[in-house]
Amino acid sequence: MNIVLVEPEIPQNTGAAGRLTLATGSTLHLIKPLGFSIDEKTVRRTGLDYWKDVDLKVWENIEEFHAANPKARLWFLSTKASQGIWDVKFEEDDFLLFGRESKGLPESWIFGSPESAIKIPMREDSTRSLNLATSVAIVLYEAERQLSLR
């Protein structure tokens, strides 16, 4: 699987996503701009001793990402999507795109490709969204669960 964080803002969420991708053999893609530094000194100071082992790809912008992955099957994660993660059938090389913590993904992506927009089902009278790292874990492990049943 491929986890794509579009303009992440909080380093702890990205660190947790990196650990999740490492645990599942997935690739972590980061789309700039990032709200923090991932240079070696900063990563070492924050205690991310596993970061060197993460299969990491950093992209300057979304256009560069799309140019390098023209045939990628993309899933846009959003609370605004109409179908849930249990309503789709994930494939091994899918790309799961998560937006930045403060704004999510652009609505034009969600409403422009509603068949590719998915959400984590939540009670309507509950919180408006989940933490980014928590969301990555839920969706990644649902995809892994589906793939293990084949």
Per the structure, the complete domain to which residue 50 belongs is given by 2-148
The tens digit of pLDDT for each residue in 99-116 reads 999 999 999 999 999 999
**Mean pLDDT value across residues 115-132:** 89
Closest residue by Cα to residue 74 from 36, 49, 106, 38: 106
Question: What is the rounded distance in angstroms from the CA atom of residue 89 to the CA atom of residue 133?
Answer: 22
Burial of 97 (0-12, 13-18, 19+ CB in 10 A): buried
Residue 144 has pLDDT above 90, yes or no: yes
Q: Residue 41 has what pLDDT? A: 75
Q: Residue 45 has what pLDDT? A: 67
Residue of 40 and 97 predicted with greater confidence? 97
* Whether 142 contacts 85, CB under 8 Å: yes
Q: If residue 149 lies in a helix (H) or strand (E), which one and from where to where?
A: none
Find how far residue 41's CA is from the centre of its chain.
24
The tens digit of pLDDT for each residue in 29-62 reads 999 999 988 887 777 666 678 889 999 999 999 9
Q: What percent of the chain stands above pLDDT 90?
A: 81
* Whether 65 contacts 39, CB under 8 Å: no
Reduced to 3 states (helix: H, G, I; strand: E, B; else coil), residue 62 is helix
Q: Residue 77 has what pLDDT? A: 98
pTM of the predicted model, to two decimals? 0.94
Q: Residue 3 has what pLDDT? A: 98
Q: How many domains does the chain have?
A: 1
Q: What is the CATH number of the domain that holds 92?
A: 3.40.1280.10
Residue 129 has pLDDT above 80, yes or no: yes
